Amino acid sequence: MPVRPRVDLETLPDYVAGRTVPGAIKLSSNETPDGPLPSVARAIVDAVTNLNRYPDPTVGKLAARLADKMGLPPGQVAVGCGSVSLCHQLMHAMCAPGDDVVFAWRSFETYPIATGIACANPIKVPLDETHTHDLDAMAAAITPRTRVIIVCNPNNPTATANRRAELDAFLDKVPSDVLVVLDEAYREFVSDPEVPDGLDYVRTRDNVAVLRTFSKAYGLAGLRVGYFAGPKQIADALRKVYVPFSVNALAQTAAMASLDAEDELLARCETIAAERDRVRGELIAAGYEVPDSQANFVWLPLGDKAFEFSEHTLANKVVVRAFQPDGVRVTISHPEENDLFLHAARSYRRSS
């Protein structure tokens, strides 16, 4: 008999990235349209001369800088190879075979994959009628086997967000031995003050953690660096299951330089948020249902027409992300690229 991997891996879904099509505008992966700021690019170039040396395996300097920025002890921060890797680390650190992980669906497609690899049970709770986390239903799904609950806020791919009052009420219902992970990859694009900063909960509750990334607002998707903030014992456990040197030297340098340029980067986020609101308004005027967005993308709940719509936009040289049979996610880019998408969306509406 040939050597075989774990049989149960065959049941796991594959991670599907947004398509890149030569000659077409890519609005499928929630990337920011602009790359690193010039000061960050210069720091990356300068760091190239030291690539014969291993990076700091503890990512200690960056972790300390992040802890200072967040007003937390350094021991409560762990840095990883993007928030995706940190999600996998969390499952390995928190779950034994047979434990439950609760999350909304549809949400970020890494959650069921990371849960399954850790031999835990994914408990998917449907979104509510507004395409937002149904926190009452998620609380009702908690059992003695529940170890982790993930709340993606704003949610990927629907762009919706839960507000402070409902999150407060939800967290009050969660047992103290269950870790609530607020995945805030798109936090920098939030414009509604009623969408809470997850770090406020980290500072006041012993069972809440936050995941964030440099991939989106900071324009470093190609370098892979993200961070965790939460209970010290969980941060310690994440470092136990961390793959050594997985946060490379260029990523560490670029993240530090990005923090130096944070005000300028966040101003870009405000520009994207304003453009997001414009695109959403244009889509609603064209007859589409588009939920409120607090991210750098919008969601069209097109149901089983999702793939057909994405093929139509591709024929118009615009790549979007179809989640058949639920809807389509469209990244916000520069106005001229967004206008090309809007043209395609209007022509689809006229033809359907």
Could you tell me which residues come within 8 angstroms of residue 123 by beta carbon, excluding any fewer than 6 positions away? 100, 101, 102, 103, 141, 146
Query: Given this model, what pLDDT does residue 19 score?
Result: 87
Which contiguous run of DSSP H or E holds residue 327? strand 327-331
How far is 194 from 29, CA to CA, in rounded Å? 26
What tokens were used for 8? 């149960």
Where would I find the H helices in 216-334?
232-240, 249-260, 262-285, 306-315
How far is 114 from 45, CA to CA, in rounded Å? 34
CB atoms within 10 A of CB 99: 17
Could you tell me which residues come within 8 angstroms of residue 153 by beta carbon, excluding any fewer than 6 positions away? 133, 161, 162, 167, 182, 183, 184, 195, 198
Task: Name residues of the chain where pLDDT drops below 50.
Answer: none
Residues 127-156 pLDDT 10s: 999 999 999 999 999 999 999 999 999 999
Query: Given this model, what pLDDT does residue 310 score?
Result: 98
What tokens were used for 224? 């892979």
Query: Given this model, what pLDDT does residue 91 score?
Result: 98
The dihedral region occupied by 41, where left means phi > 0, alpha psi between -120 and 50, and beta the remainder, is alpha
Q: List b or e across 61-82, with b for residues whose CB sees 16 or more CB atoms inside 10 angstroms.
A: ebbebbbeebebeeebbbbbbb
Query: Given this model, what pLDDT does residue 277 score?
Result: 98
